[in-house]
Amino acid sequence: MKQNKNSNMKFAVVLTLVAIGILVAVVVLSNKQESLPIEIKQIDVTGQPSIGEKDAPVTVVEFGDFKCPSCKAWGEMIYPKLVDEYVETGKVKFSFVNVLFHGNESTLASIAAESVYERSPGMYWNFHQAMFDAQPVENHDGPWITPERILEIASGFPEIDQTLLKEDMEQEATMESVKIDEDLVREAGVSMTPTIVINGKMMEDPFDYEAIKTTIEQEIKDEK
């Protein structure tokens, strides 16, 4: 009887382990499925700030907001790896589209960035990075993007004409370009920042670099 009882206990343990294994497998498979990109239309990045080879097989688009702390974090955690592994190797062209989810401050920052891009394109990415670097560590939702602060940031780059930048902000001279970005945001169905789109595939988690790599590699393979 004792031996039979031990056999039953061993059998129960085995069944429990099998059940746990199945549960883990289901969770893993579910997580993998959840991280799959969502198919949307290809993003038209004509006229958008871009880096990388013009004819790269893959285009990665970031929909971002200068006032968004998650965009700053993405730029610090994911962007450098993307540039090192894919942009500098000619596999990816990276483009940025302005999102105006934080109202007037987002709009002002976008107008200024577009002004720099039009007048001093070689300085755009430096200014872009400097704007994100200027984000306050605390109370980032509080007002901080002002014409004065933008000009202060721009003063770090002698190539940027501050007089023209000031005029462009006052006259909203680049609003047409900003509105093009607004249209792209609506067309893509962007609801959060940052949103990352790879060859018309929207990533569910912009911070899942392994999923980003997998999608890029698959796109490169499909292009061959």
Q: Which tens digit of pLDDT belongs to each residue from 28-68?
A: 344 444 468 999 989 999 999 999 999 999 999 999 999 99
pLDDT one-digit tens code per residue, 91-129: 999 999 999 999 999 999 999 999 999 999 999 999 999
- For residues 106 and 125, state if they share a domain: yes
92 and 14 in a common domain: no
Helix (H, G, I), strand (E, B) or coil at 86: helix
* Residue 52 Rama label (left phi>0; alpha psi -120 to 50; beta): left
What pLDDT sits at residue 185?
98
Query: Same domain for 206 and 113?
Result: yes
Q: Is the pLDDT of residue 9 over 80?
A: no
User: Taking 50 as the threshold, does the pLDDT of residue 23 lie above it?
Assistant: no
pTM: 0.84
Which residue pairs from 32-39 have beta carbons closer than 8 angstroms and sit at least 24 positions apart in sequence?
Answer: 34/204, 35/204, 35/205, 35/208, 35/211, 36/204, 36/211, 37/198, 37/201, 37/202, 37/203, 37/204, 37/211, 37/215, 38/201, 38/202, 38/204, 39/200, 39/201, 39/202
Residues 61 and 29 in one domain: no
Q: What is the pLDDT of residue 18?
A: 43
Q: Which domain holds residue 204?
A: 39-223
Q: Are residues 3 and 56 in the same domain?
A: no
**Does one domain contain both 50 and 134?**
yes
Residue that the structure tokens 């590699």 belong to: 217
What pLDDT is recorded for position 21?
47
Residues 109, 28: one domain? no
Number of domains composing the chain: 2
